[in-house]
Amino acid sequence: MPLALLALAIGAFGIGTTEFVVMGLLPEVADEFSVSVPTAGWLTTGYALGVFGGAPLLTALGTRVPRKRMLMSLMGLFIAGNVISALAPAFGIMLAGRIVASLAHGAFFGIGAVVAAGLVARDKRAGAIAMMFTGLTVANVVGVPGGTLLGQTVGWRATFLAVAAIGVVGLAGVARLVPDLPQQPPGGPASPGPTGLRRELAAFLNVQVLLAMGMTVVGFGGVFAAITYIAPMMTEVAGYADSSVTWLLALFGLGMVGGNLIGGRFADRALMPMLYVALSALTATLALFTLTAHSKPAAAVSIFLVGFFGFATVPPLQKRVLDQAAAAPTLASAVNVGAFNLGNAIAAWLGGLVISAGLGYTAPNWVGAALAASGLALALLSARLERRAAGTAGPAAASRTVRVAGSAERRRPDRPAGSADVAEPPTPPRAGGAARRPR
């Protein structure tokens, strides 16, 4: 794999760390700014909404900017947002810093996925995308626990300064290692000039692109219906101590890393079958989690499997969007990254609703299973429509061939049916200059 993928993975590591580390630091932040923990939770919600809105906005604004320069600008925005958060004198300013950092998230992953795919051969693109997203998954194994420990030991401001420093390393890596790729989709025609944004927007008229994004919202969203409430589920239902939540989340992160790499490897071989398997297994795991949450060992295994099967869907879902929007993939890719976060927000909200309804801390697992099953249904529908379109195209092409052949026969009524379409040699003229008609 090219070294440029390492630079993209480092940027992804920093972004993944800042997205999730705040969940472990909410009590410290709430105490310093004298706000409630639910109010401090807006640091997570605001970030997710910023990702969803910032992904299409910044990608659209950057359609005329070379992709390498755009990636560097996004990392600069990410660094600035984390520095603002670290130095914020008031909660509102910290929230603003979180939103500034979040604006870079979706566009970085969206543009980065296109760049990663353009660095390798066509049959290795899902693996390259998975390599970049490995930075995000490793962040949940190393970055989030490490940042939480740093924040609890030294202070939460130190965590955000450390994340900003990771962003500086990522920016330097992009500047040094990522080549200046042409402003065109991998394997597709160039789209320079004022038509670039129109071409990018036209991708959303493709029903297959919309179905792929729907799979992202509901299919992957099922993961966060359960994981958002993993702390109370494990402490109140499974019986774990509060201190165990950190290593349980690290276990979830390990599952994410494994699933991401496996999903990227097999998506290059058989993309839709990989989605069927991952979404089916995720549905079953989340449904069973309602039962296994009552046992410490079974709950730990289930957490790992939710991370594994959940992130096994990420590379094929992202590659599906790239494939279906091949002529102009950048905006579609970025919006799909935003769709992951939209799914997370919707799933977390639905999980909270069933808990508030008195159904217990395991009820979000059923919500997650239903969402993952909905993603599987959309995948099956997408494949069925694709097969129907291919089947329609086949008879139409054959009909056109028959019509062309029939026209040729009508032009040559003197030829026997089925005779080869070859030119006849001219008949030499008879005496007197008249040509003999063929019989």
pLDDT averaged over the chain? 81
**Is residue 358 helix, strand or coil?**
coil
* DSSP state string for 267-302: HTT-HHHHHHHHHHHHHHHHHHHHHHTTSHHHHHHH
Q: How many percent of the chain have pLDDT more than 90?
A: 31
Average pLDDT over residues 129-135: 82
pLDDT score, position 172: 95
Average pLDDT over residues 358-381: 93
Strand partners, 435: 429
pLDDT score, position 144: 83
pLDDT score, position 434: 45
Strand partners, 297: none
Cα separation, 276 vs 282, in Å, equals 10
Amino acid identity, position 396: A
Model pLDDT for residues 280-317, shown as the tens digit of each residue: 999 999 999 999 999 999 999 999 999 999 989 988 88
Highest mean pLDDT among 249-263, 315-329, 359-373, 408-422: 359-373
Alpha carbon separation from 119 to 78, 129, 161, 313 (Å, rounded): 24, 10, 32, 22
Higher per-residue confidence, 212 vs 435: 212
- Read off φ and ψ for residue 313, nearest 5 degrees: -85, -20
pLDDT score, position 98: 94
pLDDT score, position 395: 57
Cα separation, 225 vs 236, in Å, equals 17
Higher per-residue confidence, 204 vs 389: 389
* Whether pLDDT at 322 is above 50: yes
pLDDT score, position 438: 45
Cα separation, 307 vs 251, in Å, equals 8
395-426 b/e (C-beta count within 10 Å ≥ 16 → b):
eeeeeeeeeeeeeeeeeeeeeeeeeeeeeeee
Cα separation, 114 vs 192, in Å, equals 16
* Whether pLDDT at 406 is above 60: no
Model pLDDT for residues 69-109, shown as the tens digit of each residue: 999 999 999 999 999 999 999 999 999 999 999 988 888 98
Band of residue 323 on the pLDDT scale cut at 50, 70, 90: confident
Cα separation, 238 vs 225, in Å, equals 18
Packing angle of the helix pair 91-118, 67-87 (nearest 10 deg) = 160
Strand partners, 429: 435
Q: How many percent of the chain have pLDDT more than 70?
A: 82
Highest mean pLDDT among 36-40, 134-138, 390-394: 134-138
Model pLDDT for residues 11-34, shown as the tens digit of each residue: 999 998 998 888 778 778 888 999
Model pLDDT for residues 200-246, shown as the tens digit of each residue: 676 667 788 889 889 989 998 898 888 878 878 888 899 988 778 77
Cα separation, 404 vs 175, in Å, equals 56
Average pLDDT over residues 137-159: 87
pLDDT score, position 185: 46
pLDDT score, position 403: 53
pLDDT score, position 307: 92
Q: Estimate to the nearest angstrom the gap between the alpha carbon of 80 and the chain centroid.
A: 25
